[in-house]
Amino acid sequence: MNGITSPDRIGTSRRRLLAGLGATGLASAWSGTAKSATSGLTVVGTNGWLFAVWDRTHDLDTTQVRQTAQVIAQATAILKSAGIDTAIMLIPSKARTYRQFLPSNTRIAPEVDRRYSAVQNELRRPGVILPDLDTAFRSRAASTQLFFKSDTHWTPMGAELAAIEVAKAVGPTLPRSNLPGTQVSTLVNKTNPRGDLVRNLPEAQRSGYSPEPYQIREVVMTGGQNALIADDTADVAIVGNSYMEPRYGFQPVLSNQLSRPVALYWKPNNVGPFATLLQYVTSEGFRQQRPKVIAWTHLEFDIPGLPTSSGWRQNAMSTDKFLGDLRRAVGA
């Protein structure tokens, strides 16, 4: 039930989206940031930190935030009526989490600071399972590096923290599994190549950013087989973007924490969470093994981002089409 195997780079996936903004649009996205601190699609912070220009700190449409959350809630209600629970994994913004490393004159707008809690309020009202990754990340950000400095993605330690929180929220809703979860190792030291945000810098600046060390738990091989268990035995499925890519380790840790197999279906972020969910529920893997729970990934900086958003390019669709197609696919 795996998605594509080639790594998605969110920086690359956003180029077409932001190309039409021009200088005025980029300045609006990062209002108050000195022009010298922004190089194309990369914002140069302090202490070696880089940020994506689309991880906005200003200029947020709070009405669309609420509308997007309502569409997500409607989708979870459709899945619920088909006997499938949904846990929304709302991954916190790197820029907001590590604001101390933003350019010195960058301001986080109050509405951006309230975005995560606004989505929480909208989704928890109808009873959506929504682990509070924001609180967990803020409590650990100082002691553990949760995002790569020069990359848009989280580190495996960020993925692990999120997986633990998701397991806490999802575990009590599931019956005991007769099948084992994935076995993982103790922490292994590795090095990540220079991040995807470096490639957007002028060539003369790139040499200042080195590969970053990180730690990850690797999958333990048992009986000569990969302990990730076949997809057709899993009653929990992750549906997400490149943050769910196997090299960040979210899936095996979630499986380990839930003590049960967990399937994975991921697509590049420019496909968008709505089209990705539809592709999953119309896939052969879904037809063969309908999960009890779907863990559906959303990025905080993508909200607002309705199904109609031009950011999803050819995958954009009307809200009615998204909800109607979802209803038909799951037989709700």
pLDDT digits (tens, 9 = 90+) for 60-98: 999 999 999 999 999 999 999 999 999 999 999 999 999
Is residue 4 domain-resident? no
**What's the pLDDT score for residue 332?**
75
Tokens linked to 63 = 């009405």
**What's the pLDDT score for residue 225?**
52
Is residue 277 domain-resident? yes
Please give the C-alpha separations between residue 316 and each of 238, 274, 326, 331, in angstroms, as whole numbers: 21, 9, 14, 23
Domain that holds residue 244: 10-330
Concatenated DSSP letters for 2-63?
A: ----SPP-HHHHHHHHHHTTHHHHHHHHTTT--GGGEETTEEE-STT-EEETTS-SS---HH
Can you list the positions of beta strands (E) in the chain?
A: 38-39, 42-44, 50-52, 85-91, 184-192, 212-219, 236-240, 262-266, 293-299
Structural domains counted in the chain: 1
Is residue 2 domain-resident? no
Is residue 247 domain-resident? yes
Q: What is the dihedral of CA 162, 119, 267, 161, to 10 degrees?
A: 0
Is residue 45 domain-resident? yes
Own/partner contacts of 24-27, CB < 8 Å, gap of 24 or more, are 26/53
C-alpha to C-alpha distance for 96 and 86, rounded to whole angstroms: 26
Helix (H, G, I), strand (E, B) or coil at 159: helix
Pick out the chain residues at pLDDT < 50: 1-28, 31-32, 34-36, 227
**What's the pLDDT score for residue 215?**
97
**What's the pLDDT score for residue 40?**
75
Write the single-letter amino acid at 187: L
Is residue 99 domain-resident? yes
**What's the pLDDT score for residue 158?**
98
C-alpha to C-alpha distance for 251 and 254, rounded to whole angstroms: 5
- pTM of the entire predicted model: 0.88
Q: Give me the count of residues in the chain.
A: 332
Is residue 53 domain-resident? yes
By C-alpha distance, which of 244, 243, 242 is closest to 263?
Answer: 244
Is residue 1 domain-resident? no
C-alpha to C-alpha distance for 157 and 42, rounded to whole angstroms: 23
